[in-house]
Amino acid sequence: MIGRALDIGVPAAWVTANEVYGADPGLRGDLERRRTGYVLAVSARHQVTKAAGPCQVRAVAARLRRRAWQRYSAGAGAKGHRYYDWAWVAIDPRRSGHHHLLIRRSRHTGELAFYRCYSPHRVCLPALVTVAGTRWTTEENFQAGKGLAGLDEHQVRRWDSWYRWTTLAMLALAFLSITAAAERASPPPDDQIPLTRNEIAALFSILILKPATGTRHRLR
């Protein structure tokens, strides 16, 4: 699907995904051939190649010095910016492009997360952090699609019906997102706050759905 999107000219400078995709050398190789940057999560047992040879990413993290870690926000969340400690290490020295292992450390628990990164051009650490944090936005949109537009309520019996359902659900979520963005662009009265996607969906349900108030319906 990524290949098809890039082939028809969808603009995308980066691809980011979870560990299932980060462990796929075919996906990584195809993106590198296309010169499309990626930040792909990998497991702690994933192996990378450094100048001294192959090693697991958790072993690389264990040898980092304290000054290797830098604090950056991975993006704004419901409770403010999500700050983590980040470090990066150059890997795959013999391959073209710029390859790094990106490591994220929780400030509270010390838990580590690992990302395999590639860019056709030299990039800075905050740029990779920003791409890694973008994945949360995508997952939040999936949750919103399920909760607001019924993205997960199809029965998956046939491809055509699934495709139509998913397309309409995504269209509904896009409508809610654009309407909410327009709300934020025009400040409301002083005693009100801008409408959110959830509130807009609730208002449309009230305005569009005609309640059945007949006695027969209520008894049934």
Q: Is the pLDDT of residue 80 over 90?
A: no
* Residue 12 lies inside a defined structural domain of this protein: yes
111 & 169 share domain: no
Res. 213: pLDDT tops 80:
no
What's the domain count of the chain? 2
Q: Round to whole Å and give the CA distance between 181 and 175.
A: 10
**Do 40 and 130 fall into the same domain?**
yes
Domain range for 155? 150-219
Question: Are 86 and 176 contained in the same domain?
Answer: no
Sheet of 98-105: strands edge to edge?
14-17, 37-42, 112-119, 98-105, 80-90, 70-77
| Residue 46 backbone phi and psi in degrees, to 5 | -60, 140
- 143 domain residue, yes or no: no
Alpha helices in the chain (DSSP H): 2-7, 19-22, 25-33, 57-62, 125-149, 159-185, 197-208, 215-219
In a domain, residue 86? The reply is yes
- Looking at the fold, whether 29 and 125 belong to one and the same domain comes out as yes
Within this chain, do residues 179 and 103 fall inside the same structural domain, yes or no?
Answer: no
Q: What pLDDT was estimated at residue 135?
A: 86
Q: Please tell me the predicted confidence (pLDDT) of residue 138.
A: 83
Among 60-64, 176-180, 200-204, whose mean pLDDT is lowest? 200-204
Q: List, for residues 12-51, the tens digit of each pLDDT value.
A: 999 999 999 999 999 999 999 999 999 999 999 999 999 8
154 and 184 assigned to the same domain? yes
pLDDT digits (tens, 9 = 90+) for 106-143: 999 999 999 999 999 999 999 999 999 998 888 888 99
Rounded CA-CA distance 218/120 in Å is 64
